[in-house]
Structure 1
Amino acid sequence: MSLNCNEINVVLSELNLEGSFIQDVVQPGYDTVALYTYGKDGARTILICTSQNSCRIHETRRKIVKNDKPLRFMECLKARIKGSRIDSCRQIGLQRIVQIELSHGAERFVLYVRLWSNAANVILCDENNVVVDSLYRRPAKGEVTGGLFTVPEEKPSENRVWQVRTFDDVQAEYSSRFPEGGTLSFNQKIDIWYGEHAETLSREALLVQAEKWYSSSKARMESALERLLKKQNDFSQAEQLRHQGDLILSNIHLIAPKAKFLECDDYETGRTVRILLNPEKTANENAAAYYENYKKAVSGSDSLLHDIELSKKQLEKLEAQYAEIRNEKNPVRIEQLLRRNSTPRQQKKKKHPGLDYTVNGWFILIGRDANENDELLRHYVRGSDLWLHVRDFPGGYVFIKNRPGKTVPLEILLDAANLAVYYSKARNAGKTDLYYTYVKYLRRAKNGSKGLVLPTHEKNLCITPDKKRLERLDGLRQEAEWQ
């Protein structure tokens, strides 16, 4: 339960913050800010919490847990109001909005603390109520940098009387621990009660959020694994494809022009079988198509094993992360774990420069400019890796990482070639020539620009960019990033 309007007035009257100075600001989480103040009553730590159902402001004697890295709003407050004087601190009417007027040299600021359970916020404004920054940015309400904060009117009190809680149970249990006459201040009672109950409430809310993250992530990963297993099952029928091609050639005399299927006796089982045909192709072309699918199935089955194993490991990692969150007792730590798992992919620290794609077990690296090209060449590729680059156009380097005992399949080579064209000035040039060779056959151009290399033992490859192939590759990359 959040503080009501009368409880807020009791808290502020006890704090008596006028004339105090803000010595430091700490933000342990996205919903909490702590102000370290010093005034005539000594040092105080003022806790502001905007968590749903536990919105409050009060003095705390608890240790404030610092975040792993500085958060945006804390850095803003430190830059603007650290060292400032609190000129006044009051609640606007009974609106549960605390107005703290600050002066920092010639500058004047106002810190608004809105303690509404469904719309709580902490907003720093200049003396004209223009928003400098806010804990939660809400553009629709103008609560973003440069917006104008509208101060609500001080309405008369409502007919309903808001009772100030007495917290008798806290007084009875903890009074003996405080030597100051045995009577706890309202701030002390608030600090103790929320210290015991708010964490439980906050932890439960965070666990609900964690369960939603876990359920959606698990469903997505299981769906991806199911698709891979289905594909593996399809590939397990590879021998049947080859056998069907043999049957077509063995019974070519039975195939009429434009036939949609072939009915013949299977010489292995003695049964009559029906084989689908493409009526637009000849018998030899239909047999060749079955043989081609057979080759793809055989080569693809090995790569699928790598992808299936990777998907299973990702599921195991997800289970371990969820177990860690459920076993954690500290809500701040739970929030940090959730934030780690939900970090936008643009903010995730890369293991290498440029982009990467994993296709059927083959790892493709792409440098998009001279700096990334040079960094990849120096630190992330080896002599047995394959290098591709467009001819006669500037562009990124594409590398296919070597797999011991494996030859790069044509499909992977075409995927890499399309990426090389896409990340170059030849993107809209249509039919394009590329050359490719092993990294060990590259040498740096003397006095050349950064990343410039001269290839030897190179081979030529001519392609027309395939939009569908690029869309498929982009889909694979996005799916891998979300996992």
Structure 2
Amino acid sequence: MPFDALFMSGVVGELSKTLTGARLNKIQQPARDELLLHMHGPNGSGRLLISIATGAARLHMTELPCENAPTPPMFCMVLRKHLSGGRLLALEQIPGERVVTLTFSSLDEMGEMRQRKLVCELMGRLSNVILVDEDGRILDCMRKVDFEMSQKRQVLPGLFYHLPPAPDKVNFLEAATADLAALLQESGGKPLDRLLLDGFSGLSPLVCRELAFLSTGQVDKPADALTEHEQNALIKQFTALQGAVQAQNFQPCLLSGADGALKDYSFLPVTHYGSLYSLTEFRSFSKLLDTFYHAQITTSALEQKRKYWRKTLQQQIDRLNRKLTLQESELEQTKDRESLRRLGDIVNACIGQIPKGATQVELPDFYGEEGATITIKLDPALSPQQNAARFYKEYTKLKSAEAHLSHLIAQGKEELSYLYTVADALDRSDDLKTIDEIAQELTDHKTGRNTTPEKGRKKGTSRPSAPLSFTLHGGFTVWVGRNNRQNDQLTFYTADKKDYWFHVKDRPGSHVILSCRSGEPEPEVLQQAADLAALYSSAAQGDKIPVDYTRVRFVKKTPGGKPGMVIYNKYKTLLGSPDRAKKEHKL
């Protein structure tokens, strides 16, 4: 993300106006790599977030809720000791660097006023927050860097603080047009955006691409192919950007895709993406960063949680598939049991012809053709009567095994079908609350606690998430369940008996309820509901998906069945189109 030195200068300028002179009332460290400073002053109050998280290092005011750690880390305790109750004297950026220094004045343990500096180095994976005393010694730091981690620069309590090594580049804000001209002459055929990035410090790849585009109409035109007009345009854009930054003339912008997903942010309008991304301007950098990282963190948490439960669910599915394969193999072996009963009958009928201690005997096969014989292997330790009983016992055992295995396989297939419905709902989940409900459903299922949606919610717990709702042609309302608990709730508690119930045929999917409270729907409305049922199913990637529909009164809960599992009759079938539903509802 382009939290470069130029972007940081805008953030620092904004924060300086608000926080200079403010008192530090409270210090929190909600995560290993985050700090929250509660500030109160004449120009404004709020919480200052300092994050050194990988890929999300930043500094801004935040309004988002944040849970405090049950036990404050040692670094947080040190900050509270030295900075609590202190006043922020200055908030300054090292020119051209992503380093910000917050200078506080606070009382020490002897009651004397001291100055302490909180240095925020927001430089990607090397980011750090360091507390420095008046003599320049490090009191503590969020990330300790010893000699084994870096031979060039150590960051440890007791050492003198030194700024990070400056890059071997020209500071963009101090660069002259002669520096730019010299860089172009030594370009070596590099793309212009890469040349600017390698030649000047303080610029992000996004800003370099924008400068190249504004000057040449391309983001990656070779620098040695620039015309004189394009070179003059580049110099003009270069100096204009320097002037805008020095004058603190910024326009915080957020870039988002056609699907609404937030892609990037900048301190100036970005034009080189064209119509690919839309641009949203913000009044403040803090609001921009709050919006962007809240969406990013939420999406990341959503994916992590979905990935965890999908892995857990897949393990259950794989285990059950292996178990079913083994049981079906054992069931196949029971189909040959009739031959054991016949052997027992033959031995019983010919006991007098079997010598004692024989290992095998050839006897008439009265189950075969006339005059046929059969060779039967015997246990020499058993009498003929006992050998016959052994055949009957094995026959009875396999007969019982067939009934037992058939029952287990039916149960296993029902269980597998249920797990596939959970997996489908999990893959389509788009918020943390829905995933939490699916996770709770899996946990309850594992422990055998399959409660109904209404009866399962304890007093004081949060309400379940609401199903999706759509308005169809003629004002008809459709509800779509987002997990098995919601499916049960919709079908057996929310829907009226005369409403229509839709479900993709023989595949996992949502229960879709078409409300008929405003009258009987036209065929067009039924088709729209069928399209939604096809879209919210495991067959959403296909076309012309068979969807069954019937009145809710013909849908019954499977006896002893799991959440979302039903049986239905008196139904009709429509072919649903997921693509048509997406276009109709702009999904």
Is the radius of gyration larger for structure 1 or structure 2? 2
The TM-score, its normalising length taken from structure 2, stands at: 0.38
The TM-score, its normalising length taken from structure 1, stands at: 0.44
